[in-house]
Structure 1
Amino acid sequence: MLRYLLTEDDVGSVRFGISPLCELGLSLRAIKEPARFPLQLGWLRRTEEARTRLDMPTLMALIDERMWTPDFLNPRPTSPLTRLDDELEALAAIPADVFRGDLVAVHGAVPEVFAGSASAAMRRVIRALQQLWDTCFEPYWPRMRAVLEADVVYRGRQIAQSGVATMLNGLSSRIEYDHGVVSVRLADPNDRTQAIDGNGLTFVPTMFTRRASAPVGDGPPMIMYSARGQGALWEAERVANPAAVAAVLGETRASLLAALGDPASSTELGVRLGVTASAVNQHLRVLRDAGLLVSTRYGRSVLYLRSELGTALLETRAG
């Protein structure tokens, strides 16, 4: 059990962030044991061929049989949405003793693949992670990021409407909050208690944890939890009568409506449908004004989601 102790000020400063590097590191769980991550089987299928070209000995040396990964792969986000380039730059700068210590904390010893120079081993790790990103994440990141952003927006709305306690107790069945204590039930049999002491507690939504995860060591206070809205992320949208909907809305607007079963930004939609950003925005405004979509802002992005009326339209069958 991990317990974070929060003062009243700490409760008020709970924050959220999205970390591409966390996603890379945690994705090794799904790659290692696909059956444990059924919601990501679509991603695994789409990236199967690309993964044959990766440095798998290096990547698999970053995870153990308990599905633990070293803390240097789980940096606390410094902003609501960090950039992978910045995170990899920070990773390259960590001291050799931290690199080795984080590996030992997971494996009990430094894996053979990382024997010798720590700087050479770190370069190999960064190169393998960059390849994983380029081939398996970058093509799908806008779609994945939209789900993560939408989750953060949802949690923020919960705090505004019902308070921090309600939000915290709704994150996961493994996370409980009571009278200033956030308790996380982990696979780690050891009990750990850590006071926040003004350092801030950061929550990180992810696609690659089933319940909740936390740093292996006593690093900055952070909890990674399963993001909402993953269920249909990799499923093709099923429209009962696409021809009828297209006849009413037009092909492009019907496709946009079908694609918005989960939150997405106009940029992502443009890439997915091969439509210019300006055209997508124009169509989205029309659909929203007609009550077929709803929208919400996250940072600089606006996320769109099909409304109940839009879903009802897609389910219309020909008479």
Structure 2
Amino acid sequence: MGFHFRFGPGDLLRCRFSLSPRWETQEAVRVLLSPHRQAYHLPWLRQAREAADKLDLRPLWLLMPRSGHHPDFLSPPPLGPSVTFEEEIARVRAADPEAAREDLRLSLVCTPGALESAAGQRMMADPARAVRELADLTERAWQALVEPHWPRLRALLEADILFHSRRLAAGGLEALFDGLHPDLRWHGESDTLTIERPAHHHRALDGQGLLLMPSAFVWPQVVGGYDPPWQPTLVYPARGVGGLWTAPAGPAPRALARLLGAVRADVLCALDEPASTTVLAHRLGLAPSTVSAHLGVLHAAGLLVSARHGRQVLYERTPLALALTAREPAAR
């Protein structure tokens, strides 16, 4: 039993990572509906509840069965490593109405009474209008629930991709899948990735490869999905989600601040996970130009390394910087 991805020779070369603000919006809406997903997101929930109360999210919730199909046209797999919400929602709005009708039906039948409900019948009667209204509602949910927190979320997702990309480079697919989620099993003898599930489903990748996508809001689950013609996709919980909403650790150690200067030391200490200039500027409340200048000095001094991911350049501390940023022990 389980959800099986079968790799062919070409698929082994076509695994790629991406992140999706549209997917995070969908799953943020689902978190509001699912108490078992809320443990790590309580600070966000306290802010999001007020914003969510001003939205009528019931049409989206109707298409989120406890188990079963979620409409693929509402969350198409991203085409590049780092896409914007605007790019993604444009693809949703461009969905073919007749294909969307069947997609909606497959989702509605997974919830008893949903297809026969007034909202379900309205979607079936005019799928073009349903596509427009669901896209509009998703955009409002993005603006209210996710966009204000996107720099923090994006930093988490980019750091996860950087970590697992290195794991893939060092140990191959077996090492990669072994560390993504406890429900995943890689069977090297058959080149098959299995998600442990009570039901059985088989998907041959057929040369499309597998899209790997970290998510903050999908925790604690791992999700495999998309039927043809969509690219097969695996969505897994991002590393570090438990600390996503925690406050910064505090000012840099005093000795380090005297050595580097207070602001430059704060920039270095803020890099607990790899991050971009924009994310650090948002985190520290500084101008991006100021952060960029300090990053350049720290990089030249051998305290940082950088790596490009999509449109972003991520900075990460070197072993020397890790030693310098160790927190001072508490006074006795």
Q: Normalising by structure 1, report the TM-score.
A: 0.87
Alpha-carbon offset, residue 302 of structure 1 = 1.8
Tell me by how many angstroms 1:97 deviates: 3.2
Which runs of structure 2 are paired with 1:139-288 in the superposition (5 Å)? 139-178=148-187, 179=189, 180-186=191-197, 189-209=198-218, 210-215=220-225, 217=227, 219-239=230-250, 246-288=257-299
- Relative to structure 1, the CA distance from residue 36 to residue 181 in structure 2 (aligned partners, 3 Å threshold; closer, same or farther) is same
Deviation, 1:310, is: 4.8
Give distance in 2, aligned partners of 1:159 and 1:241: 33
1:315 aligns with 2:324: no
Identity of aligned residues (%): 34
- In 1, Cα distance between the equivalents of 2:212 and 2:259? 43
The equivalent residue for 2:77 is 76
Q: Aligned equivalents of 2:265 and 2:53: distance in 1?
A: 37
Deviations 1:23-76 (A, max 9, x none): 111222211124423222232233232222222222322312348632223312
Partner of 1:54: 55
With normalisation by structure 2, the TM-score equals 0.84
Change (3 A) 1:232 1:295: farther
Distance 1:67-1:176 versus aligned 2 partners, 3 A rule: same
Q: Among 292, 300, 314, which residue is 1:303 paired with?
A: 314
1:219-265 deviations in whole A, cap 9, x for unaligned?
43111111112232211122387666545544423432343223321
The Cα of 1:177 is off from its aligned counterpart by: 1.4
Could you tell me which runs of 5 or more consecutive residues in structure 1 were left unpaired when the two chains were aligned.
none
Further displaced range: 237-246 or 9-18 = 237-246
Q: Secondary structure at the match of 1:237?
A: coil
After superposition, the Cα gap between the structure-2 partners of 1:318 and 1:247, relative to the gap in structure 1 and judged at 3 Å, is: farther
In 2, Cα distance between equivalents of 1:55 and 1:308: 49
User: What are the within-5 Å matches in structure 2 for residues 103-122 of structure 1?
Assistant: 103-108=104-109, 109-110=114-115, 112-114=118-120, 115=122, 116-122=125-131
**Partner of 2:235: helix, strand, or coil?**
strand
SS of corresponding position for 2:313: strand
Pairwise CA RMSD of aligned residues? 2.7
Residue in structure 1 matched with residue 86 of structure 2 by the alignment: 85
Residues 1:38 and 1:239: Cα distance change in structure 2 (over 3 Å)? same
Worse-superposed segment, 205-214 or 305-314? 305-314
Change (3 A) 1:135 1:259: farther
SS in 2 for 1:231: helix
Task: After superposing the two structures, state which structure 1 stretch, 29-38 or 201-210, moved more.
Answer: 29-38
